[in-house]
Amino acid sequence: QMRIIHGQDFDQRAREEFRPTIYSNVIKGMRVLVDAREKLHIPWGDNSNQANGDKMMAFDTRSSDASKGMVETQVFLQYLPVIRALWADSGIQNAYDRRREFQLGESVKYFLDNLDKLGEADYVPSQQDILLARRPTKGIHEYDFEIKNVPFKMVDVGGQRSERKRWFECFDSVTSILFLVSSSEFDQVLMEDRLTNRLTESLNIFETIVNNRVFSNVSIILFLNKTDLLEEKVQIVSIKDYFLEFEGDPHCLRDVQKFPGGVFPEQTPGPAA
């Protein structure tokens, strides 16, 4: 995202490299929806889609490419008619409407609504597609860019628990830490244990970082993103069901936005950025 904002667009080759990732996002997302429909006992709109659902669940996620979050074009196109039929079924749509009850990627609907584009023979991901593609950060990645002729180096580290032990490998000479929190995840749990609330986990990590003496002279900037998803969620989900200390109207976007903006700075030893 920072790369695009500061004028370093993805070239043709870089954009094409995201295609297998996007195809994987779609297939994984549909498998989640098919599984959720069954577990939530939602009937098919068209019973003939049971066969399509079975085919979707039989997809080999253990293949070398799929296990790495990659699905090649030829494979995706074989499953495209199945995915299209399933997405049109009221049973899958009803499962999607209950997505807060299970783990589903936030961008799945965007890609499923654009299956025609994804199925084109010459499909090349757009910048919007790339921004919405889910590719978990593993390891440490560095990006160079300029803002008003001032060079910056951004180091991107994986947020999964298994990746955090590597964070301190790149913290020696940092001048700022950008801490990103999805404001819409107040009702979701971690993929790792399916128990810990994601917002609570982010809060605990933030507290650990801001109170570490290593960062006493480092500016820490908190970003609360995914406001568009939060705006949709507050209409149907009450944050009070997950955070009893919340005060305000749980269905008012502004009130819900203020909550993490208040509790995160409370973890800092001094003024927060």
Digits of tens for pLDDT over the chain (273 positions)?
A: 555 655 566 777 888 889 999 999 999 999 999 999 999 999 999 999 999 999 999 998 777 566 667 899 999 999 999 999 999 999 999 999 998 788 888 899 999 999 999 999 899 999 889 988 987 656 677 777 777 788 888 777 766 666 566 666 666 778 888 888 989 989 988 877 778 899 999 998 888 888 888 888 888 888 888 888 899 899 989 999 999 999 999 999 999 999 988 888 766 665 444
> Is 50 annotated as ligand-binding?
no
Query: How far are the Cα atoms of 21, 60, 189, 257 from residue 207, in angstroms, in the given order?
Result: 33, 40, 19, 19
Tell me the backbone φ, ψ of residue 131, rounded to 5 degrees: -65, -30
Q: Is 132 annotated as a binding residue?
A: yes
Residues 9 and 267: their CA atoms lie apart, in Å, by 37
How many Å apart are CA 43 and CA 53, to the nearest integer?
Answer: 12
Find out whether 156 is annotated in a ligand binding site: yes
Written as six digits, the tokens of 180 are 């990103």
Is 137 assigned a ligand-binding role in the annotation?
yes
Domains of the chain by start residue, with CATH: 2-132 (1.10.400.10), 174-267 (3.40.50.300)
Determine if residue 131 is labeled as part of a ligand binding site.
yes
Is 135 known to sit in a ligand binding site?
A: yes
What is the rounded distance in angstroms from the CA atom of residue 67 to the CA atom of residue 185?
26
Q: Enter the DSSP assignment of 189.
A: B
Q: Is 97 assigned to a binding site?
A: no
| Global pTM value | 0.72
End-to-end CA distance of the chain: 21
Angle 10-16-19 (CA atoms, 0-180°, nearest 5)? 120
Rounded distance, CA 156 to CA 21, Å? 18
